[in-house]
Chains A and B, each alone.
Chain A
Amino acid sequence: MTPPFQLRRRDLLFGASALALAAPPARPKIAAICTVYFKYSHSQHIVDRFLEGYGWNGTHHHPEMDLVSIYVDQIGKTDFSKDRAARFPQMKMYPSIAEALTTGGSKLAVDGVLLIGEHGDYPKTEKGQVKYPRYEFFNEITKVYTASNRVAPIFNDKHLSWNWAWAQEMYDTAQKMKIPFMSGSSLPVTWRTPSIEMPLNSKIEEAVCVGYGGVDSYDFHALETLQCMVERRKGGETGVKWLQAYRGDQFWQAMKEGLWSRDLMNAALCRSHTLKPARPGFNNIFPSDDDLKKLVRNPVAYHYQHTDGLKSTMILFSGLVEDFNFAARLTGQKKPFSTQMYLPMPPARTSLANFFSPLSNSAEKMFLSGKPTYPLERTLLTTGLTAAGVDSLFAGQKRLDTPHLARIQYQATKESTFWRT
C-alpha cells in the first residue's frame, strides 16, 4: 500500500538542491494550484483553456496534456471548479497542494504545475498590496519536489510575490533546484496593433507605457508591457538603479517639467482604442492638458533608470484610457516606435479574455519542452519594480535606490513570443 504523502525531515534538510528533471513525457500530466475559480478569474481563464481547448492558429486547439488535479484555496458560492471537475472527470479536486501534486499518492505525480494566485479574498498590507499566497503555494510545491526527488516545470501567473524578499527567494529556489519556471502577465504575449516587435539589439533612448488601473495590480501589467520591449535593446537588460513614483499634483508637475518625453506619451496615446473624448459630441479627440486633468483624477507614474542609463516611465491614466500602449525613441529614427498591446477584455468588449490564449500557450510550450518560453528574470524585475513603485508612493513619492534590481541582467529571446499567428 502506498503511504499517504508525508514530508519527511530529511527532505527539508536537503531542501533546495538540484533535483532530477525527467524529460517531459509525450503527454504530460498537469496540476493547477489556484486561489479561486470563479467566472473571469485568472484560474478560470487559464485552466479552462487546458480543459476546454481554445482558438489557436485557426483551429480549436486542445493542449497535448492532461490536467489531472486541482487545488482551489477558496471555494465560494461563485465557484466553478466543482462544475469543471464534474464535466472533466480526469481532473480530480484535492484539499491540499501536496495532494494535488501527488494525486493522493506519496510522490510527485504530475509533470507540470500551473500556479494561479490571482483573485480571492486575501488581506492587504499597510501599503495596499493584496497578499496573494503565491510564495506560500510555491513553497508547498517545492516541498513535494524535494520529498519526491524530482521537479517539474511551474508556470506562475502574474508577478512572483508582493513581497520582494519572497520573490527573490522563489527565483533562487527555482535556480538551485533547476526548476523550469516562468511567470508573468499576458500583456507581453497578446496581440499588438500594429503587430510589431522591437528589433533585437535596438538602441533605445527612452520608453513609455500608458496604461490604466490601480497600484499593485495593473501597474504590473504596464511594467511588463515596457519590459518585454526594452529587454530587446542592445546589451539586453542590465537591471534598474532607482525608481521614483509620482501621483496627483506631483505627477502633473513632473509631466509639465518634461520628466518623460511628451512626444512618447502622445505617441502611446495615439495607439489607444479607448481614448475618452474630453468634449461631448466628439467620439475621438486628442485631449489638451486641461482635458487630461479633468479626465484623470489620480494619475500615477513610475519613472526609473536602468543600469545602462535607459529611462523608462510607466503611466497609469485611469479615466482617460482603458488599454496598454507603448512608445519608445530609437536612435536614428525620427518617429517614435509605438504599438498597443491589445486586450480583448470582457465583459464590455468581448465574452472571452482571449489574451489568456497566448499566455496559456506559452505555459503549454514549457510543459512540453521543459524550457521556459521566455526568461523568468523579466518578471523578477517587474515584480521588484511593482514593489518599488508601491514603496515609493508609500514613502511620499521618494526616489528609491534599487540595488536589488540593479543586478538583474538577462537577454531577451531571439524569437518573438507575442501572438501574431
Chain B
Amino acid sequence: MPKRVAVITTLYKYLSHAQHMGDRFLVGYPHEGEWHKPDVQIVSLYTDQKPAGDPASGGDQSYVRAKEFGFTVYNTIAEALRCGTGKLAVDAVMIIGEHGDYPKNEKGQVLYPRYEFFKQCVEVFEKDGRAVPVYNDKHLSYSFEKAKWMVDQSKRLKFPMLAGSSLPVTWRLPDLELPLNCEIEDALMVGVGGSDPMDYHALEAMQCMIERRKGGETGIRRVQLIQGDAVWQSNRYSKQLLTAALSRSDSPQGKTLLDGRTQDLVGNNELPKLVKNPAAYFIEHNDGLKTTLLMLDGAVHDYCFAAKVKGMPGYPSTQFFLSPVPNVTYSACLVSKIEEMFVTGKAPYPVERTLIVSGALEACLTSKLQGGKVLETPELKVKYRAPKESQHART
C-alpha cells in the first residue's frame, strides 16, 4: 500500500515550492538516472491562498491537480489530515509554507504560517492519539521560540520530522564532502538574494558542511550582522576563504558581463563596486568555531562555500548547484529525502540542523535591527551529530 500523504501549503501555483515538490509525488521525478515514481500517494490538500488566474501560468492549481490525480482539497488542515473522516487518515504530512501573500515583521522576515500549520497538525495528532512523519519546507519558523516548540513536539509525540532547504542535498561542484570528524579552522559562505529567504538557504548550506566537524554541532553562543562598508573593512573573515569561495562561482558580474572575462573579484577590488548592500553574518559556535556568511548581492549569482580544514591542503570549496528553472532538479534531490522519511519512518538527517539555522538567522536579523550589535545567544544551545553517510546528490 502506498503511503498516504496530506499536503498542507500556503499556495499551489506554477513554480511555487508546493507545485514543484508536490507534483513530484504525482508525476514522478528524476532520481539516479531513472524517472522515479514514488510509492506515495497524495490523498488530501489544504491550500491557504488560492490566487485567481490560469492554473498553467500562476493561478491556483489545487483543484486541477485534485481532479487529475484523484485527491481532495479540504477547507481546513484538520480535515485534510483526517480526509474528511473523524480520525487521522494519512501516513505523513508535507508542510510547505513558502510563497503567498503574508506580512513581514520589523526584521524583514515574511511571517509564513509554518508554526501555525504545524500546530494544527499536532493538535490532530494529539486528539486522534497517533502521530505521523512531518516534513516542513525551509526553516521551521521566523521565530526560534516557535521553531524550538515545533521540534519539541516531534520529540514529545515521537514522530519523525525533517525540514530544510534543498541546498544541503543538491549536487555540488565539485562533489565535496568534508570528512566526518575533521577539524575545521574557519568556514565561509557566499550567498546572494534577499533576506530572509536567501540568507536562510546560504546558512543551511554552510551548516550541512560544518556540522561534520569533530565533536559535531555544539550550538551557537553569539552572532553579529554588519552591513555596508564595514563589511569590506572587517578583518573578521579570511580573504583567502572568500577568494576560494568565489573561485567556485560561475556567475561573476560587472566586467564579466561586459566582455566575458574571468575575474578575481577579491584581487581586482571590484566587490565594493558591484555589491551595493553587502552583509556579513558572523556566527560563533560554542566549541569556538567562527563562521561567516557574506551576502554579496550584485557580485555573483550562486552559492559557494570554502573552509580551512586541518590536514587538508588549500581551501576545500564548492558550489551548491542550483540547477536551471523550470526543472529545478535540486528540489527532486530534496523530495527523495522526504520520500525516504515517509517510507522508512526515519529522517535521513537531523531536524536540529534546520532548528539551529532558524535560530541563527533570527538572531542575525535581530543584530541587524539593532545596528550590528553583537548578540549573545544562550538559547541556541542546539547540539547534534551529522549523519555518517553523505546526503547530497552524488549518484
Question: Which A residues contact B (CB, under 8 angstroms)?
Answer: 39-40, 44-45, 48-49, 52-61, 80, 83, 191, 193-196, 266-267, 270-275, 277, 280-286, 327, 335-339, 342, 344, 346, 348-354, 419-421
B267 & A277 in contact (Cβ 8 Å cutoff): no
In the docked arrangement, what's the CA distance between A286 and B31, Å? 12
B262 & A267 in contact (Cβ 8 Å cutoff): no
Nearest CB in chain A: distance from B303 CB, A: 13
Within 8 Å CB of A59, what residues of B? 243-244, 247, 314-315
Candidates A45, A281, A337, A338; contact of B56 at CB < 8 Å: A281
In the docked arrangement, what's the CA distance between A272 and B260, Å? 26
Nearest CB in chain B: distance from A98 CB, A: 28
6 closest A-B pairs (Cβ-Cβ)?
A55-B247, A280-B56, A338-B33, A60-B264, A350-B250, A281-B56
A352 & B173 in contact (Cβ 8 Å cutoff): no
Within 8 Å CB of B51, what residues of A? none
In the docked arrangement, what's the CA distance between A414 and B246, Å? 31
Among B22-30, B110-118, B119-127, B275-283, the stretch in contact with A:
B22-30
Nearest CB in chain A: distance from B389 CB, A: 15
A351 & B174 in contact (Cβ 8 Å cutoff): no
Check B66 for interface membership: any CB of A closer than 8 A. Answer: no
Within 8 Å CB of A284, what residues of B? 20, 23-24, 29-30, 326-329, 332
Among B1-9, B100-108, B212-220, B317-325, the stretch in contact with A:
B317-325
B interface bracket (residues with beta carbon within 8 Å of A): 35 or more
B246 & A335 in contact (Cβ 8 Å cutoff): no
Nearest CB in chain A: distance from B78 CB, A: 29
B249 & A55 in contact (Cβ 8 Å cutoff): yes
Within 8 Å CB of B328, what residues of A? 283-284
A191 & B260 in contact (Cβ 8 Å cutoff): no
8 CB-based A-B contacts, threshold 8 Å = A58-B247, A59-B243, A193-B321, A281-B55, A281-B61, A283-B325, A284-B30, A352-B249
A351 & B257 in contact (Cβ 8 Å cutoff): yes
Q: How many A-B residue pairs have CB under 8 A?
A: 163
Within 8 Å CB of B165, what residues of A? none
Candidates A45, A58, A273, A342; contact of B260 at CB < 8 Å: A45
Within 8 Å CB of B326, what residues of A? 277, 283-284
Query: Given A57-B247, A80-B259, 13 other A-B contacts at CB below 8 A?
Result: A44-B259, A55-B248, A272-B327, A275-B327, A283-B23, A284-B326, A286-B27, A286-B28, A337-B33, A346-B260, A348-B324, A351-B260, A352-B249
Given contacts A58-B244, A267-B34, contact A273 B262 (CB under 8 A): no
Check B38 for interface membership: any CB of A closer than 8 A. Answer: no
Candidates A191, A349, A420; contact of B324 at CB < 8 Å: A349
Within 8 Å CB of A191, what residues of B? 173-174
A272 & B30 in contact (Cβ 8 Å cutoff): yes
A350 & B251 in contact (Cβ 8 Å cutoff): yes
Smallest CB gap from A337: residue in B:
B33
B288-302 to A contact mask, C-beta < 8 Å, 1/0:
000000000000011
Candidates B14, B174, B243, B261; contact of A60 at CB < 8 Å: B243
Smallest CB gap from B394: residue in A:
A194
Smallest CB gap from A41: residue in B:
B260
B174 & A274 in contact (Cβ 8 Å cutoff): no
Given contacts A48-B260, A270-B30, A283-B14, contact A350 B301 (CB under 8 A): yes
B262 & A54 in contact (Cβ 8 Å cutoff): yes
In the docked arrangement, what's the CA distance between A83 and B394, Å? 42
Interface centre among A55, A271, A339 (most CB of B within 10 A): A55
Within 8 Å CB of A275, what residues of B? 30, 327
Candidates A44, A60, A354, A420; contact of B250 at CB < 8 Å: A354
Within 8 Å CB of B29, what residues of A? 284
A352 & B247 in contact (Cβ 8 Å cutoff): no
